[in-house]
A and B are shown apart, each in its own frame.
Chain A
Amino acid sequence: MSVLRPLDKLPSLNTATILLVGTEDALLQQLADSMLKEDCASELKVHLAKSLPLPSSVNRPRIDLIVFVVNLHSKYSLQNTEESLRHVDASFFLGKVEGFRATMAQRLVRMLQICAGHVPGVSALNLLSLLRSSEGPSLEDL
């Protein structure tokens, strides 16, 4: 069983890749559209998947950030997320975001840029340790 590990591959130049995982394709599509509308110096790529693991046959760039989109009204959506999480290394986990789509898209793009290493002074490793410590900034502050 292949497991996604962070910092596994080499980054591509100025490109930040995010993977959105969730059962409701229309929601993923809308979130992707909102993110791509954001003003962003990096080139964004959004991958949409219903669940993990991803098909292995594809040549894929390094994924900088994975977002699981859960519909809290749907048991099916939650179960799907739980099963998909088994395929992700635990050290990947950063936190959760709730809220309106527009602000969420903005936050995700900023997080993505950090994770892709496009923000000087803040690296993905920083982010992991920052968020783990209780004195660090919360996701909302980013």
Chain B
Amino acid sequence: MDETVAEFIKRTILKIPLNELTTILKAWDFLSENQLQTVNFRQRKESVVQHLIHLCEEKRASLNDAALLDIIYTQFHQHQKVWDVFQMSKGPGEDVDLFDMKQFKNSFKKILQRALKNVTVSFRETEENAVWIRIAWGTQYTKPNQYKPTYVVYYSQTPYAFKSSSTLRRNTPLLGQALTVASKHHQIVKMDLRSRYLDSLKAIVFKQYNQTFETHNSATPLQERSLGLDINMDSRIIHENIVEKERVQRITQETFGDYPQPQLEFAQYKLETKFKSDLNGSILAEREEPLRCLIKFSSPHLLEALKSLAPAGIADAPLSPLLTCIPNKRKNYFKIRDK
């Protein structure tokens, strides 16, 4: 086994938390059941790793096997990457061909290899006709860097692909080209949508987020549940604005629905607008050029936070459509200009 491959596998296994190790190794399906049974997973991690490397050597693990392990690790830790969304389109009058996975993979690999000579391309198919692609980039003169790969998740029955954000941006046009040509599309465009949560991006892009899930709370009467707050049963406390509360709840429900919101970490608004003011003779108001500013909302779960603003009394309902349109418009990056 090549030294670089051994090192690569070692570093990958070291990243895996001990409690996930058996699951991931089983998913990898490279080491046999018998081999895995010889490993004492309750040792110190370094010893476990050494033993596993030894077993990989026995089985002569290749670069491709190592790359596959890396894909599986990333599939288990999707949130460690930030994902961008790309949308492809066919040219006018082009027919919808039947998708051939084998042909796609060959074509994709060839395009990159022809352009760069040194590149490692690996694939792993998953459910929903999706394929995970891992690309380690090199140049005409240097070997691929296995430690800064790019991942693409392409849903073959759709024109959408999700790509992990990376610092090696010079390869993005080539990657886009390979994806477009191999999948028999004409054009690729980056959407203004980005998040760590691949599942949420999928839900937004494929418009699957608006399903009501049956939760254990559905047994409680709608009235009580929908008021959201803990209505104190103490009869000495009287709520005067029940009507207003109900109005807010109704509007919130109409806007956000009953279902859990897709998870996004931020929304960014780039403003290029002229200054507007009630005061006359303000210096800023006389300025001809638009002002530029950037507003960013951050949250561990932005949409749920927005949903709870009005019921918590922090904002009035209805909220600005600029905030509530995010899943519907499939964007969390906005550019606002004067009309």
A25 CB contacts on chain B under 8 angstroms: 229, 245, 311-313
Q: A33-B234, A58-B240, A74-B314 are in contact. List 4 more A-B contacts (CB 8 A).
A: A24-B313, A36-B234, A46-B238, A48-B239
**Number of A interface residues in the complex (CB < 8 A):** 25
A44 and B313 in contact, given A26-B229, A50-B244, A51-B241 (Cβ under 8 angstroms) = no
Is B316 in contact with chain A by the CB < 8 A criterion?
yes
A76 and B315 in contact, given A29-B232, A33-B232, A50-B244 (Cβ under 8 angstroms) = yes
B241 CB contacts on chain A under 8 angstroms: 48-51, 55
Cβ–Cβ contact A55 & B240, under 8 A: yes
B234 CB contacts on chain A under 8 angstroms: 33, 36
A48 CB contacts on chain B under 8 angstroms: 237-241
Interface residues in A40-85 by Cβ distance below 8 A to B read: 43-51, 54-55, 58, 74, 76-77
Cβ–Cβ contact A49 & B313, under 8 A: no
Which of B241, B243, B311, B312 is packed against the most chain A CB atoms within 10 Å? B241
Is A113 in contact with chain B by the CB < 8 A criterion?
no
Closest B residue to A23 by beta carbon equals: B313
Is B230 in contact with chain A by the CB < 8 A criterion?
yes
B335 CB contacts on chain A under 8 angstroms: none
A54 CB contacts on chain B under 8 angstroms: 240
Is B15 in contact with chain A by the CB < 8 A criterion?
no
Cβ–Cβ contact B313 & A46, under 8 A: no
A76 CB contacts on chain B under 8 angstroms: 314-316
Which of B229, B243, B313 is packed against the most chain A CB atoms within 10 Å? B313
**Measured CA separation A33–B313 after assembly (Å):** 18
**Measured CA separation A23–B310 after assembly (Å):** 10
Is A32 in contact with chain B by the CB < 8 A criterion?
yes
Binding site for B on A (CB under 8 A): 19, 22-26, 29, 32-33, 36, 43-51, 54-55, 58, 74, 76-77
Sorted from nearest, which 4 A-B pairs have the closest CB atoms? A49-B240, A23-B313, A24-B313, A50-B241
Cβ–Cβ contact A26 & B312, under 8 A: yes
Which residue of B229, B236, B315 contacts A46 across the interface (Cβ within 8 Å)? Answer: B236
Closest B residue to A15 by beta carbon equals: B236
Interface membership of chain B positions 290-323, coded 1 if the CB is closer than 8 angstroms to chain A and 0 otherwise: 0000000000000000000001111110000000
Which residue of A22, A43, A46, A50 contacts B237 across the interface (Cβ within 8 Å)? Answer: A46
Enumerate 16 A-B pairs (CB-CB under 8 Å) in ascending A order.
Answer: A19-B240, A22-B313, A24-B313, A25-B311, A25-B313, A26-B313, A33-B232, A36-B234, A44-B236, A49-B240, A50-B241, A50-B244, A50-B313, A54-B240, A74-B314, A76-B316
Cβ–Cβ contact A47 & B232, under 8 A: no
> Closest CB-CB distance, B29 to chain A, in whole Å?
51
Closest B residue to A61 by beta carbon equals: B238
Closest A residue to B238 by beta carbon equals: A47
**Measured CA separation A41–B315 after assembly (Å):** 38
> Closest CB-CB distance, A87 to chain B, in whole Å?
13
Cβ–Cβ contact A32 & B232, under 8 A: yes
B230 CB contacts on chain A under 8 angstroms: 29
Cβ–Cβ contact B312 & A29, under 8 A: no
Interface membership of chain B positions 50-73, coded 1 if the CB is closer than 8 angstroms to chain A and 0 otherwise: 000000000000000000000000
Which residue of A24, A45, A58 contacts B236 across the interface (Cβ within 8 Å)? Answer: A45
A45 and B238 in contact, given A50-B313, A76-B314 (Cβ under 8 angstroms) = yes
**Measured CA separation A4–B240 after assembly (Å):** 15
Interface membership of chain B positions 213-244, coded 1 if the CB is closer than 8 angstroms to chain A and 0 otherwise: 00000000000000001101010111111011
Cβ–Cβ contact A29 & B229, under 8 A: yes
A46 CB contacts on chain B under 8 angstroms: 236-238
B315 CB contacts on chain A under 8 angstroms: 76
A33 CB contacts on chain B under 8 angstroms: 232, 234
> Closest CB-CB distance, B252 to chain A, in whole Å?
13
